[in-house]
Chains A and B, each alone.
Chain A
Amino acid sequence: MRSTRFKVMMSIIIILLIIMVLAMAIGFSAPQSSAMGAATTPIQAIGAQISASFNDFFGAFSKVNRLEEENAQLKKELQKRNEELIEFYQFKQQNEQMKDYLGIRDLHPDFTFEPARVISRDPTNRFYAFTIDKGTMAGVSKHDPVRNADGLVGYVIEAAPTYSVVMTVLDGGINIGAMSYRTLGADTGIVSGDITLSKDGLCRLNFLPQDCKIAVGDLIITTGIGGIFPKDMPIGTVKEIKQNQSDISVYAVIQPAADIRELRDVFVITHFDGQGGIDPEEE
């Protein structure tokens, strides 16, 4: 005889099998599963929550590692792009410089140029004198005129083997023979700097007669007299005409064509037809 326990167990198995078969055949939720589910769902939810938290916690480490790798890779890529960008701007700048150079060269075939870069300025100089990265080793010599694509900048006052110092047209010590392009030499004067104007990047055309025909907006160019500066080189435009306080002459305030205060690249004219003459500080 089989025991009562065995009979109960078999009964339960059979009942469960019947429920299972019926549930599968009819499609209702098995009550034992529902009951178990009802009991276990909150626990499962808590377990899932804990698991998710664990997953998030430990997953974060692996994510951080992955993000770090990605970040390093992106940084490398960005660095490469930046280097390419710097190279691009350098080429662009060189290209612009060469275009300026070729433009001036076409206009003045007798000029021999030496492109140079402004490397520093003396903060105690009130006329924006600057140092360039070319010297006697590059063929630059004292008194060579310096210009950029826009116009005359100044001339070399000191030429060392590897650098040169340039005095600008804003300097009160410079004297450049100049005339109006419009009046074609009817009124000539001397361009020189002025301490009261240099701060604003302006200079003066001095010694003009009272009845001069120069007008505001006229282009002022070099006369070429003296042999230091080539003829017909643009200096700037007339901004204002004023009466000189010390004598009967008038003077014109000139806005230089080149922005002297913001120069970066210039050309030293190491040779031109008619070069050689008196010191422009004594002209």
Chain B
Amino acid sequence: VQKQNRLRYALHAISLLILFLMQGTRGLTVEIFGVAPLLLIPFSVCIGMFEHEVAGASFGFAAGLLWDVNAGGWPGFNAIMLMIFGWLCGWLITNLIRNNFLSAFLLTGGSLAVYSVLHWLFFYCLAGYDNAAYAFWHFDAVQAVYSLLCVIPMYFSIRFFMKVMRAL
């Protein structure tokens, strides 16, 4: 079991690295209305759901740390946000709600909404940029919706992978 866990976590880590590269490299994801999807948020949510809150928080933290390398500004913002998402989703699935696609969709939607609003608030409103509302409706909202769609392939891929791992 321990060997299986190690293998599963190693594969999660590889997936995380691939998604990190895809998110940060222009051309590796399709841009819609000038925005690229945030792949690490649905990933953190899904890992939290399929593993448990500690693993969700750990992978969320690692994903956020990697993201912060590219972000500039407030180092640690993404690490904190993604860690909370991973932990919270893991806890909710363990204690309150069922693990199915609808839950994944709603949890990712909620996480993206919280992230987008806080990001917009801290990095545009409080930073004193002009036309901050324009930024929210033309970038943040569009990006959140686009990223939410990414949970569809991500949820089913991770579910399939987990089934295969359990069968081993």
Contact = CB atoms under 8 A, between A and B. Distances in A.
Task: Report whether chain A binds chain B.
Answer: yes
Given A120-B24, A199-B34, A129 B127 contact: no
B38 interface: yes
A173 B38 contact: no
Nearest to B21: A120
B72 A196 contact: no
B135 A195 contact: yes
B36 A123 contact: yes
A122 B38 CA distance: 10
B123 to A, nearest CB: 8
Contacts of B67: 122
Nearest to B72: A165
Q: Which 4 A-B pairs have the closest CB atoms?
A: A120-B24, A165-B72, A123-B36, A122-B70
A194 B138 CA distance: 13
Contacts of A126: 135, 139
B72 A195 contact: no
Q: Is the interface of A mostly helix, strand, loop or mixed?
A: loop
Contacts of B38: 123-124
A121 B31 CA distance: 13
A226 B58 CA distance: 44
Contacts of A123: 23-24, 35-38, 143
A227 interface: no
Contacts of A199: 34, 138
Interface in B97-123: 119, 123
A114 interface: no
A125 interface: yes
Max count, chain B CB within 10 A of own CB: residue among A124, A125, A129, A165:
A124
B72 A172 contact: no
Nearest to A156: B72
A122 B72 contact: yes
Nearest to A200: B34
B131 interface: yes
Given A158-B72, A163-B69, A124 B130 contact: no
Contact of B70 (A120, A173, A194): A120
A131 B72 CA distance: 9
A173 B143 contact: no
A122 B139 contact: no
Interface residues of A, number: 22
A173 B123 CA distance: 11
Contacts of A19: none
A167 interface: yes
15 contacts: A119-B24, A120-B25, A121-B25, A122-B24, A122-B67, A122-B72, A123-B36, A123-B143, A125-B71, A131-B72, A165-B70, A165-B72, A167-B72, A194-B130, A195-B129
Contacts of A125: 71-72
Max count, chain A CB within 10 A of own CB: residue among B70, B132, B135:
B70
Contacts of A196: 131, 134
A123 B77 CA distance: 14
A131 B24 CA distance: 9
Interface string A95-132: 00000000000000000000000011111111001010
A121 B25 CA distance: 6
Contact of A129 (B26, B72, B124): B72
Contacts of A167: 72
A55 to B, nearest CB: 48
Contacts of B34: 199
A151 to B, nearest CB: 20
Interface in B31-73: 34-38, 67, 69-72
Nearest to B129: A172
A157 interface: yes
B134 A195 contact: yes
A119 B23 CA distance: 12
Given A122-B67, A124-B71, 4 more contacts: A120-B25, A165-B71, A195-B135, A199-B138
Contacts of A121: 24-26, 70
A196 B138 CA distance: 9
Max count, chain B CB within 10 A of own CB: residue among A123, A158, A160, A196:
A123
